[in-house]
């Protein structure tokens, strides 16, 4: 039913995708990659990764295919067309999409893949490049249980925490819930720090106290320090707000209230006008709070 796993494909070699592809190579897998900009993949090519000229060529040459792209439009762009994944996908292949896209679009894509005789898993991850480098990435999986069982060992090369959620679409739905909570909590932290700064508390001291407190979750652990030393961009405002839009769209369809999601999204709207909107979203949101509080 499934192809023996001899070669693994990876499409979408941005910061996170490249890191995951490297982990797969480090685990001993023969990895072939594709990216819209080949230059970004050069370090992986130098490390021994193979290269496919098109998504179709990539799909035709591998037994398990991972994709990690920005949004729903991006996954649809590489899936369809003469040079798309669906044109090259072989029977028995498992396509695991790591992207965070619209749940309905993911389920529809799974149906198209199934019609081609292959299997599709929505396979979002939770974490950042820092989490990945520390070997603490978590993976959620939605789709056929047998397909999951077939590729589970490969997923453990990405991170140690792999959870099967249920049928196609359910892992994406779970990721939406997680990212809703993530953005709300990080936005609340930026709000709290800006509040006490206005009252005269030193920001460095406040962040140090946060990191020693009960709210010091993993995401706060790697993001709060950016308020003191702006060194990394794990996700900017535009990318992070995409997850809130997915949550709000889902809530509208289901008739569910998501007031904290709406409030956080409004702050991300305000952060888009920040001169630091290209930095990690905690930095640009904090900047927006400071401007609104008359601190700049």
Predicted confidence at residue 274, as pLDDT, reads 86
Secondary structure of residue 275 in the 3-state scheme: coil
Mean pLDDT (whole number) for 142-168: 96
Position 131 scores a pLDDT of 87
Confidence tier at 15 by pLDDT (50, 70, 90): confident
Q: If you average pLDDT over residues 78-95, what whole number do you get?
A: 95
State the DSSP string of 212-230.
TSTT--HHHHHHGGGGTS-
Query: What confidence category does residue 61 fall into, taking pLDDT thresholds of 50, 70 and 90?
Result: very high
Residue 175 has pLDDT above 80, yes or no: yes
Rounded to whole angstroms, the Cα distance separating 151 from 17 reads 18
Please check whether residue 28 is in contact with residue 59, taking contact to mean a CB–CB distance below 8 angstroms. Answer: no
Question: What number is the average pLDDT over the span 35-61?
Answer: 95
Name the percent of the chain lying above pLDDT 90: 92
70-79 in b/e form (b: 16+ CB < 10 A) is: ebbebbbebb
Sign of CA dihedral 125, 127, 129, 131: negative
d(CA 268, CA 261): 11
How does pLDDT run across 62-77, given as a tens digit for each residue?
999 999 998 999 999 9
Mean pLDDT of the chain: 95
Q: What is the DSSP letter of 53?
A: S
Q: Which has more pLDDT, 129 or 12? A: 12
Task: Dig out the tokens for 45 from the structure.
Answer: 């090519």
CA 200 vs CA 95, 233, 239, 292: distances in Å: 53, 27, 32, 16
What is the CA angle 224-222-278, rounded to 5? 70
In this prediction, residue 129 carries a pLDDT of 85
| Band (273; pLDDT cuts 50, 70, 90) | confident
Q: Confidence band (pLDDT; 50, 70, 90) for 225?
A: very high
**Pick from 294, 289, 292: which is nearest to 190 by CA?**
289
What is residue 108's predicted lDDT score, i.e. its pLDDT?
96
**For residues 246 and 200, is the Cβ–Cβ distance under 8 A?**
no
pLDDT digits (tens, 9 = 90+) for 231-248: 999 999 999 999 999 999
Alpha helices in the chain (DSSP H): 15-26, 42-46, 55-60, 72-79, 85-88, 103-115, 129-133, 145-158, 170-198, 203-211, 218-223, 237-254, 259-271, 281-292
* Cβ-count burial 211-229 (b if 16+ within 10 Å, e if not): eeeeeeebbbebbbbbbee
Closest CA to 211 of 220, 203, 202, 199: 220
Tell me the per-residue pLDDT of 110-123, one tens digit each, with 9 for 90 and over: 999 999 999 999 99
pLDDT band with cut points at 50, 70 and 90 for residue 135: confident
* Integer Rg of the chain from CA: 20
pTM of structure: 0.91
The phi, psi pair for 71, rounded to 5°, reads -155, -175
Rounded CA separation 231/46 (Å): 26
- The distance from CA 57 to its chain's CA centroid, rounded to whole angstroms, is 24
Q: Provide the token pair at 133.
A: 């480098």
pLDDT at 296 over 80: no
The Cα 34–Cα 47 span in angstroms is: 15
Phi/psi of residue 183, nearest 5 degrees: -65, -40
pLDDT at 37 over 80: yes
């Amino acid at each position: 039913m499934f192809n023996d796993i001899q070669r693994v494909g990876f499409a979408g070699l941005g910061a996170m995708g490249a890191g995951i592809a490297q982990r797969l190579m480090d685990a001993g897998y023969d990895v072939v990659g594709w990216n819209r900009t080949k230059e970004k993949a050069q370090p992986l090519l130098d490390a021994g990764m193979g290269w496919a000229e098109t998504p179709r060529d990539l799909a035709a040459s591998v037994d398990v295919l991972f994709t990690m792209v920005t949004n729903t439009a991006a996954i649809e762009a590489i899936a369809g067309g003469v040079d798309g994944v669906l044109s090259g996908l072989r029977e028995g292949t498992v396509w695991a999409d790591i992207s965070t896209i619209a749940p309905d679009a993911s389920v529809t894509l799974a149906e198209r893949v199934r019609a081609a005789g292959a299997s599709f898993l929505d396979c979002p991850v939770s974490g950042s490049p820092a989490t990945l480098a520390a070997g603490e990435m978590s993976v959620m999986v939605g789709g056929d249980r047998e397909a999951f069982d077939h590729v589970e060992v490969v997923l453990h090369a990405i991170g140690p925490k792999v959870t099967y959620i249920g049928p196609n679409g359910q892992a994406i739905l779970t990721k939406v819930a997680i990212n809703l909570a993530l953005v709300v909590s990080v936005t609340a932290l930026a709000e709290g720090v800006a509040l006490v700064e206005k009252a005269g508390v030193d920001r460095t001291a406040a962040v140090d106290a946060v990191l020693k407190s009960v709210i010091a979750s993993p995401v706060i652990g790697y993001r709060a320090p950016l308020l003191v030393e702006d060194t990394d961009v794990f996700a900017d405002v535009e990318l992070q707000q995409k997850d809130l839009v997915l949550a709000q769209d889902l809530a509208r369809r289901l008739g569910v209230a998501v007031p904290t999601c709406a409030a956080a999204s409004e702050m991300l709207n305000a952060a888009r006008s920040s001169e630091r909107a290209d930095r990690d979203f905690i930095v640009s949101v904090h900047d927006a709070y400071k401007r609104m509080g008359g601190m700049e």
